Amino acid sequence: MYDYIKKQDEEIFKAIEGEEERQSSGIELIPSENYVSRAVREANGSILTNKYSEGYPGKRYYGGQEFTDVVETIAIERAKKLFNCQFANVQSLSGAPANVAMYFALMEPGDTVLGMDLGHGGHLTHGHPTTSINKVFNFVRYKMKDPDTGEIDYDELRRVALEHKPKIILAGFSAYSRELDYAKFTEIAKEVGAYTVADMAHIAGLIAGKAARNPFDDGFDVITTTTHKTLRGPRGGMILTRESEEIATKINKAVFPGLQGGPHMNVVAAKAVCFGEALTPAFQEYAGQILKNAKAMEAVLHRENVRMLGGGTSNHLILADVFDSLGVPGKEAETVLDEVGITLNKNMIADEPRTAMDPSGIRFGTPAMTTRGMKETEATRLAEIMIETLRHKDDVAKKQTLREEVRAMCEKFPIPESFV
């Protein structure tokens, strides 16, 4: 598959080959990662990468757009069907640029956004002080009422909204394991005259697969998302508008020419392919199995008295406090689990007492393992292996035995090339 790279650039070929082996022989549990189909990979590596397509279908700045217009139009129409909305911008390069474009479309510099606190499950682009966007807009935050149940403090959210009168109320997360009450967000937003935006990067595939509630059903104005993660497409972003043509026009202008130049048409084609896959009944089965596998892992952690933020999971991910429960810091847990072929990420917990680079928690999820065809039996055993590994982190022989078990599981469930 990589014959030309092998001939031309051996160093890069070896790195790609090594990564292919790593992915095939280990279990991917980072909840924001997944495996794409061969069809998506082919589109992503297609000749469309040669073409500049500034503008939108039928309104380009360069000639030679007869086929790029077809590709982008198909991607738009499939996205609208998937998420039951009237407008879709499929040009965003990733989730963070999608959020930035959305902010500039709906606000003026100095306006306020009310979003989830990073330490309670939010995302950097929701206004963390280290981000550049924090210098342009004013960000205020809401949190969980109780980190052990995951319940959002909606009374406090309303109080902050009434005090600060945000232009946008943002529902969304990167490390939150429960469902949000979108109707409450809508109710509060109407009270203060704010737009409702859902950053659904993590659960877009669950929404598309009818395994999670669609914020548009509760009146949200806009959804931003990545196209990878649970949606199982190429690395990219997207902005959806429920029904307002005025909002959609502002978003299109904010993406191009406001923030980006020419779209990556090879990635837009790969998005179109993945949207087509997500429209199949098989994808709905896949989305449902993601949740079943997450619940199976949750049950093991409950049984072994491992603390989970939010008390467990209602979606695809779990955030576990391994430092409090097992005496292993998150950074060490990530490293040790890598040694047995299980990849996940260290993660801060709510009101983190340690540092961001060596936090108390680990974050893991089930999208990629579910793509390989693994079900509750495998999910249960993987959770057990994780706990065994952390409890015997200095036992080299034990870890070697567990590594072989993980490798055997990977051989039994190879990464599929097609989902349809």
Task: Please indicate, yes or no, whether residues 345 and 378 belong to a single structural domain of this protein.
Answer: yes
Tokens of 20: 């292919």
Task: Please indicate, yes or no, whether residues 185 and 294 belong to a single structural domain of this protein.
Answer: no
The CATH number assigned to the domain holding 223 equals: 3.40.640.10
Task: Please indicate, yes or no, whether residues 259 and 304 belong to a single structural domain of this protein.
Answer: no
- Assign 201 to helix, strand or coil: coil
Task: Please indicate, yes or no, whether residues 180 and 270 belong to a single structural domain of this protein.
Answer: yes
Q: What is the pLDDT of residue 59?
A: 97
Report the distance separating Cα 295 and Cα 370, nearest Å: 13
Task: Please indicate, yes or no, whether residues 223 and 306 belong to a single structural domain of this protein.
Answer: no
Total structural domains within the chain: 2
Q: Is residue 267 part of a domain?
A: yes
Binding residues: 118, 122-124, 245
Task: Please indicate, yes or no, whether residues 348 and 374 belong to a single structural domain of this protein.
Answer: yes
Q: What is the pLDDT of residue 378?
A: 98
Rg (alpha carbons) of the chain, rounded to whole number: 22
Q: Which domain holds residue 235?
A: 41-278
Q: What is the pLDDT of residue 198?
A: 97
The CATH number assigned to the domain holding 377 equals: 3.90.1150.10
Nearest 5°: phi and psi at 413? -125, 75
* Mean pLDDT in consecutive groups of 10 residues from the start of the chain, 420 residues: 95 97 98 97 98 97 97 98 98 96 97 88 80 92 92 95 97 92 97 97 97 98 97 98 98 97 97 98 98 98 97 97 98 98 96 93 98 98 98 98 98 95
Q: Is residue 4 part of a domain?
A: no
Please state the pTM of the whole predicted model.
Answer: 0.96
Report the distance separating Cα 288 and Cα 316, nearest Å: 10
Binding residues for (6S)-5,6,7,8-tetrahydrofolate: 118, 122-124, 245
Task: Please indicate, yes or no, whether residues 260 and 386 belong to a single structural domain of this protein.
Answer: no
**Residue that terminates a domain, selected from 237, 259, 278:** 278
Residue 328 CA, chain-centre distance (Å), reads 26
Report the distance separating Cα 254 and Cα 126, nearest Å: 18
Task: Please indicate, yes or no, whether residues 330 and 227 belong to a single structural domain of this protein.
Answer: no
Report the distance separating Cα 285 and Cα 367, nearest Å: 12
Active site residues: 52, 54, 199, 226, 229, 235
CB 167 within 8 A of CB 107: yes
**Residue that terminates a domain, selected from 212, 247, 278:** 278
Task: Please indicate, yes or no, whether residues 397 and 313 belong to a single structural domain of this protein.
Answer: yes
Pairing of strands 317-321, 195-199: unpaired
Report the distance separating Cα 241 and Cα 278, nearest Å: 19
Tokens of 45: 């590596």
Task: Please indicate, yes or no, whether residues 78 and 145 belong to a single structural domain of this protein.
Answer: yes
